[in-house]
Amino acid sequence: MYQYQYGTQAEIAALAKEEGLKISAIALLHEAERDETDPEEIRRKMKLSLDVMKTNIKNGIASEEPSIGGLIGQNAAKMARYLESRQAYGGPVMGRAVAYSLAITEENARMKRIVACPTAGASGVVPGCLIAAGEVFGYTQEQLLDGLFNASAIGIIIANNSSISGAEGGCQAEVGTASAMAASALTELAGGDVEACFHAAAFALKNLLGLVCDPVAGLVEVPCSKRNAVGVANAIAAADMACAGVQSVIPFDEVVLAMKEVGCALPATLRETAKGGIAASRTAREIKKKMSRL
């Protein structure tokens, strides 16, 4: 009989209380049990994902190659140069995390290999936050892997009880989910307990509740890439609040159900159809026309 399977915050909290484990450890055992393999093999596979994330950041920061649609491709390099020239308002972690999230999303838009975390369109938030925090605070590779496992648990809960698809639930389901995943992971890395992790995830998801999916010309470029950067800032703020002892009045499980209701209420024009929001703006329509002539 499976021991470490879960689908809600309540189930993880119960496991954590019974076993005395962090979310990351429960998530690791969940995957090993589900795949009927050794936990170390699961960690090895997660390291492969971490390696891809690091490569995306390195290449994305260094490259100014335009994206397939030509709408982005230089912003990560610009942000990196900005951080070298002055102290950013957001500080060293947020500044790097923003740059790294832009780098990964630009690599995605160049059709490079990335890690969907939880989706391609939201792939910059979790690695941007964790790798930047790791560099500033000296987190080891093993700690970063724990952070990714923690984030995966949050993603599983949302996927099981709501959606991680922009086409189904708007961008709240993609960048919102990624931001909640990153907030929880950062909280655990900072020493927060299971309860604090869920408070952080709840903050992050609530802050982006109702976020629409309106890609210009139907491409995962604008506003998607910069929304990843906003997801980073949101995750960092949420983690800091949780680590300070601030608590979410609404439990995470209930926030996830609210997100599902909001997603169902969003009109189709605001769910990745590129027919509403900024995708319907005059400039966006002109961009789409120019692309159709190519």
pLDDT recorded at residue 1: 62
| Segments forming the whole domain that contains residue 287 | 9-293
CA distance 112 to 270: 27
In a domain, 107, yes or no: yes
In a domain, 199, yes or no: yes
- Residues 75-130 have pLDDT tens digits of 999 999 999 999 999 999 999 999 999 999 999 999 999 999 999 999 999 999 99
- Tell which phi-psi region holds residue 274, choosing left (phi > 0), alpha (psi between -120 and 50) or beta: left
Across the chain, which distance is largest between two alpha carbons, in Å? 62
Nearest to 79 by CA among 57, 105, 102, 109: 102
In a domain, 2, yes or no: no
- Would you place residue 63 in the very low, low, confident or very high pLDDT band (cuts 50, 70, 90)? very high
Nearest to 181 by CA among 148, 213, 207: 148
Which residues partner with 271 through β-bridges? 213
| Secondary structure string (H, E, C) spanning 222-260 | CCHHHHHHHHHHHHHHHHHHHHCCCCCCCCHHHHHHHHH
In a domain, 97, yes or no: yes
**For the domain that residue 269 is a member of, what is the CATH number?**
1.10.4100
Amino acid at 121: G
The domain total for the chain is: 1
